[in-house]
Amino acid sequence: MKRGATLVLFLATACLAGAQQSSIDPQKLEQIRRMSPEERATLKARLEEMKKLSPAERERLNDNLKKIKSMPAEEVRKATERAAKLTEKDHKEFVELASDFFKWERRRGMKDGFPRGLFFQWLKRDKPGKLEEIRAMEPGPGSPRIDAFIHLSHEFRGLTMTKTEEHARRHQCISAEEVQGLKDLPGNDFWLRWSEVTRNCGRKAIPGPVPPRPLDPPKK
């Protein structure tokens, strides 16, 4: 999963750089053609996010791409893992940015269970352009930040549901009825049940070599 995420990010950056230079590497195009529909959708979404970045941020991405091309594969893997981890500063900033959204949730009586750490990690890795937009918004009651985070939380839930379905098919550790039950749950009831189902997954999985779980929370 991490290797796939690295490839998508690499291709997205390469495509953006190629678009700026009016040419795209044929090898990169071939890699895109071999991608699954889900991977291509992720690539397209990341390209759209990158297009929203400032010229300075785009230049920084191009510089990073050049560095990645010159790095051994093992170093690229380690660098990707480091970049995906939330620092204490990241976590503090994201909590502040989303504070109005979380207050809105509490006023609506939503139960605790939303995986903030995973959500923030996803924002850092996949939504840098959207974060820049949110930073420019005024905070406070009625802030547009609330709507922005509502939309992002729905997108995150949909992505998590897709990964859960893929994980269940590979591991055969979650029944079709459980998966459908998750889809039908409202609000944060979904996250409470999702946490329970994924915790129990390891005890039900069929023995044998399987890919690492894409939904594991970051280690503390």
| Domain spans in the chain, listed from the N-terminal domain onward | 1-84, 86-220
Q: Which of 8, 55, 48 is nearest to 28 (CA)?
A: 8
Of 12 and 49, the one with more pLDDT: 49
Of 78 and 56, the one with more pLDDT: 56
Of 52 and 42, the one with more pLDDT: 52
Q: Mean pLDDT in the chain? A: 75
pLDDT of residue 142: 86
Taking the whole predicted model, whether its pTM rises above 0.75 is answered as no
Q: Which of 170, 158, 161 is nearest to 201 (CA)?
A: 170
The amino acid present at 211, given as its one-letter code, is P
pLDDT of residue 32: 63
pLDDT confidence tier of residue 214, bands split at 50, 70 and 90: very low
pLDDT digits (tens, 9 = 90+) for 191-207: 888 888 888 776 554 43
pLDDT digits (tens, 9 = 90+) for 142-195: 899 999 999 999 999 999 999 888 888 888 888 888 888 888 888 778 888 888
Residue pair 77/2 in contact (Cβ under 8 Å)? The answer is yes
Average pLDDT over residues 61-70: 73
